[in-house]
């Protein structure tokens, strides 16, 4: 059953990129550090908690370094460990900005991993990503960075050069200075109204690559730039791991295939159904959205209200009680999502085809619960 072991705070919905595979709510929301710390205290004080780790996501969490530092210091005081901070690695305006921000987070006491999203969907500049990695190594250590990559499936947008601009950050577009950010955020801002885009450097736009470009080539090219050896173990389904390394550095790249929402016809073209592990991979996590809503996993289906089990202003024990009464928690963690396949088919609610993605099917179940 549901017994969370980690909390992930989605610090903000603000991001300097607009990646076509991202499902994050782009309306402008920021978590309050004080709320996050109060909630952590209720976890620490609870006799029912198995939570040991804290992680950070977004949006782009490094756009709010003050939040990170406040919560990191509080988490240390309460003896929590850290998992990772997920980042696109391309949020900085200058190398001085990059170094000062990472050093500030390190000085706050952070000793977890830096999870770097790097693939064709993000379309970052290889040069800037290499600079980010090298700077993170200097500050956090030679094994501090982990790459998380998504291998794109064949899709309508994957064959046109226009799609590459969709995956490029709004802030990194050299024409962006005359536009208005959809997020309504400047770096470090808590304003919920549109502001001019920050002046992200033009060079972050120059290496935009088509989504159809081979991901292995992209990773091996990065390895060459960093003077690292590249090895990979990737299955025919696109899942696997690559390693970029030398005698001093180890940079793993964890590769997963692209996910689609259940309303997208591309989600139902797989040859076999997902393997039901009762959410063992994505679950046992409290994911605190930037809106303050809390969901019981970090998969993209957690944007559905049917999975919400409380608010950041609730106590941990209250959230755990809500989880025990949640129909979706029971389906995901006890009954198993695969048991819903036959039921939906009999009710005529099952789309034609199959999906190997458990999060896609969870998204479908959530939508049918509403």
Q: Report how far residue 298's alpha carbon sits from residue 102's, in angstroms, rounded to the nearest whole number.
A: 24
pLDDT at residue 57 is higher than 90: yes
- Burial of residue 163 (CB within 10 Å: 0-12, 13-18, 19+) is buried
Q: Rounded mean pLDDT of 244-261?
A: 94
Can you give the pLDDT at residue 91? 96
Contact between 110 and 83 under an 8 Å Cβ cutoff? The reply is no
pLDDT digits (tens, 9 = 90+) for 75-90: 999 999 999 999 999 9
pLDDT at residue 251 is higher than 90: yes
Can you give the pLDDT at residue 133? 98
Pick the CATH number of 6-369 from 1.25.40, 2.20.25, 3.20.20, 3.10.20: 3.20.20
Can you give the pLDDT at residue 213? 52
Run of H or E including 232? strand 229-234
Residue 241 pLDDT grade (very low, low, confident, very high; cuts 50, 70, 90):
very high
- Which DSSP category does 149 fall into? E
pLDDT at residue 1 is higher than 70: yes
pLDDT above 70 coverage of the chain, percent? 81
247-261, 276-290, 302-316: least confidently modelled range = 276-290
In 3-state terms, the chain is what percent helix, strand and coil (to 5)?
Answer: 35, 15, 45
- Give 237 or 110, the one with higher predicted confidence: 110
pLDDT digits (tens, 9 = 90+) for 109-160: 999 999 999 998 888 999 999 999 999 999 999 999 999 998 876 533 333 3
In angstroms, how far is the first alpha carbon of the chain from the final one?
23
Mean pLDDT for all residues in the chain: 83
pLDDT digits (tens, 9 = 90+) for 309-323: 999 999 999 999 999
Contact between 257 and 151 under an 8 Å Cβ cutoff? The reply is yes
What residues contact 186, with CB distance under 8 A and at least 6 apart? Answer: 195, 196, 198
pLDDT at residue 176 is higher than 90: no
SS3 at position 56:
strand
Tell me the CA distances in angstroms from 205 to 51, 91, 128, one per residue in order: 40, 12, 10
Can you give the pLDDT at residue 370? 62
Q: Report how far residue 251's alpha carbon sits from residue 243's, in angstroms, rounded to the nearest whole number.
A: 6
Contact between 239 and 140 under an 8 Å Cβ cutoff? The reply is no
Contact between 230 and 223 under an 8 Å Cβ cutoff? The reply is yes
Q: Which two tokens stand for residue 5?
A: 């072991």
- Give 120 or 244, the one with higher predicted confidence: 244
Contact between 282 and 359 under an 8 Å Cβ cutoff? The reply is yes
């Amino acid at each position: 059953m549901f017994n969370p072991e980690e909390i992930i705070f989605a610090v903000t919905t603000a991001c300097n990129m607009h990646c076509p595979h991202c499902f994050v709510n782009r309306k402008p929301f920021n978590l309050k550090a004080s709320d996050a710390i109060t909630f952590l205290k209720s976890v620490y004080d609870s006799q029912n908690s198995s939570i040991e780790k804290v992680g950070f996501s977004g949006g782009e969490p490094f756009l709010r370094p003050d939040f990170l530092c406040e919560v990191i210091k509080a988490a240390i005081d309460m003896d929590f460990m850290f998992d990772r901070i997920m980042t696109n690695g391309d949020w900085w305006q200058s190398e001085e900005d990059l170094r000062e921000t990472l050093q500030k987070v390190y000085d706050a006491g952070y000793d977890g991993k830096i999870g770097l999203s790097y693939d064709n969907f993000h379309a970052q500049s290889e040069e800037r990503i290499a600079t980010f990695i090298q700077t993170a190594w200097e500050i956090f250590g030679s094994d501090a960075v982990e790459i998380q990559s998504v291998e794109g499936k064949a899709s309508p947008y994957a064959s046109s050069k226009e799609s590459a601009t969709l995956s490029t950050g709004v802030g990194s577009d050299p024409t962006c200075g005359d536009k208005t950010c959809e997020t309504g955020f400047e770096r470090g801002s808590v304003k919920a109204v549109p502001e001019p885009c920050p002046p992200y450097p033009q060079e972050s736009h120059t290496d935009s690559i088509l989504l159809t470009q081979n991901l292995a080539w992209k990773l091996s090219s990065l390895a060459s730039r960093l003077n690292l050896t590249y090895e990979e173990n990737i299955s025919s389904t696109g899942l696997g791991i690559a390693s970029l390394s030398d005698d001093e550095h180890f940079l793993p790249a964890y590769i997963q295939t692209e996910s689609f929402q259940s309303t997208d016809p591309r989600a139902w073209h797989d040859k076999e159904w997902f393997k039901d592990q009762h959410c063992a991979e994505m679950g046992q996590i409290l994911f605190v959205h930037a809106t303050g809503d809390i969901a019981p996993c970090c998969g993209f289906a957690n944007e559905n209200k049917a999975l919400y089990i409380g608010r950041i202003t609730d106590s941990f024990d209250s959230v755990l009680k809500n989880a025990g009464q949640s129909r979706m928690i029971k389906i995901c963690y006890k009954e198993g999502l695969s048991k819903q396949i036959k039921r939906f088919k009999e009710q005529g609610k099952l789309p034609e085809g199959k999906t190997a993605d458990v999060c896609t099917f969870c998204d479908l179940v959530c939508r049918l619960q509403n």
